[in-house]
Amino acid sequence: MISKVLVTGANGQLGRTVRELYERDTSIDFVFTTKQELDITQNQRLETFFENSKFDYCINCVAYTNVEQAELHPDLAFKVNTEGVKNIARECKKHEVVLIHISTDYVFDGKKQTPYVEDDVPNPINQYGKSKLAGETYIREILEKYFIVRTSWLYSKYGNNFLKTIIRKIKDKEQLQITTSQRGTPTSCSDLSEFIVYLIKNKTSKFGIYNFSALGETTWYGYAMEICKHFSAYDCKKIIPVNTFTSRVKRPDYSILDNTKTARVFKTKILWQKSVNKTVNALIGKH
């Protein structure tokens, strides 16, 4: 039985990665929608769309992810990350669709010094994290059949992300100051896509919250230095570690996720360095 799967936010980095990797997969019937085609904050449009299509799953890749702007415009973040998610959850409930929703390590305050497990009590310290947690809460209240996948420091070949920014600045021979004060795990959209599609193909029925990140941990400085290894023409000493950086947003100092629960469902071990190197090579034309 082929599963019919709606992917919202298909122009974002995760949506584009799912499309690249799985669009030709004949075991799943994917329907990819951009924000222009399906705005999850427009309830009437969403209702009509679900009415006219019999989906088995919805992968919600829509998110307001600009952490800095969310602090200035929390209403926008909450409109998308909370109200939009509530709209999707209601339609999934009405039409018996399993929701796979992408959330974030930023639902935690970063005060813990051991990896966060799914049952740890969230305590977001910025508007982005608060809006994402509120979206999670609606899903848990409305649905029984859902996967909330919390991930961290996402990157891909697409869109705007730290990895692509560092590559651009290295190519421009810029001197960089990168913080060492936050610890986390860079996670590839390709690896996350594999987990999501695995849940669908295996008709996984152990619903709930799952952490998904690569293995290991680093700082933003350590992450930048790993990227720098690929550029022999650039002096990596021009990347300078600094303890803090200027920002209007509080970010968790420690947001490493424990993947033990996920490993019981999805047997894979991906070191963050391996996936970063694979993506950098793809971007700079090495294979």
C-alpha 123: how far from its chain's center? 19
Contacts of 165 (CB under 8 A, 6+ apart): none
The secondary structure of the chain, three-state, reads CCEEEEEECCCCHHHHHHHHHHCCCCCEEEEEECCCCCCCCCHHHHHHHHHHCCCCEEEECCCCCCHHHHHHCHHHHHHHHHHHHHHHHHHHHHHCCEEEEEEEHHHCCCCCCCCECCCCCCCCCCHHHHHHHHHHHHHHHHCCCEEEEEECCEECCCCCCHHHHHHHHHHCCCCEEEECCCEECCEEHHHHHHHHHHHHHCCCCCCEEEECCCECCEEHHHHHHHHHCCCCCCCHHHEEEECCCCCCCCCCCECCECCHHHHHHCCCCCEHHHHHHHHHHHHHCCC
* Higher pLDDT pick, 245 / 85: 85
Which residues participate in catalysis according to the annotation?
128
This prediction's pTM: 0.96
Domain boundaries in the chain? 3-161+187-215+255-269
pLDDT tens-digit readout, 120-177: 999 999 999 999 999 999 999 999 999 999 999 999 999 999 999 999 999 999 999 9
Q: What digits encode the pLDDT tens for the residues 42-54?
A: 999 999 999 999 9
Lookup result for tokens 């700079």? 284
Distance CA 249, CA 242 (A): 17
∠ at Cα 4 (2, 10), nearest 5°?
Answer: 135
CATH number of 3-161+187-215+255-269: 3.40.50.720
Q: Which pLDDT score, from 0 to 100, does residue 154 have?
A: 97
User: Over the chain, what is the mean pLDDT?
Assistant: 95
| Other Cβ atoms closer than 10 A to 283 | 15
> 55 φ, ψ to 5°?
-85, 150
Q: Say whether pLDDT at 12 is over 90.
A: yes
Compute the distance between CA of residue 236 and CA of residue 226 in angstroms, rounded to an integer.
10
pLDDT at 247: 79
State the pLDDT at residue 27: 93
Q: How far is residue 214's CA from residue 263's CA, in Å, rounded to a whole number? A: 11
Question: What digits encode the pLDDT tens for the residues 78-114?
Answer: 999 999 999 999 999 999 999 999 999 999 999 999 9
Tokens describing residue 243? 């303890």
Which tokens hold the place of 205?
């029925």
Predicted pLDDT at 286? 65
Tokens for 104, please give them: 């974030």
Average pLDDT over residues 211-223: 97
Does residue 287 surpass a pLDDT of 80? no
pLDDT at 245 over 80: no
| 271, 216 contact by CB (below 8 A) | yes
- Partner residues linked to 208 by β-bridges: 147
- In angstroms, the CA 229 to CA 245 distance is 23
Separation between Cα atoms, residue 162 and residue 164, nearest integer Å: 6
Q: How many CB atoms lie within 10 A of CB 115?
A: 17
pLDDT tier, 1 (very low <50, low <70, confident <90, very high otherwise): confident
What pLDDT sits at residue 18? 98
Query: pLDDT tens for residues 247-272?
Result: 789 999 999 999 999 999 998 889 99
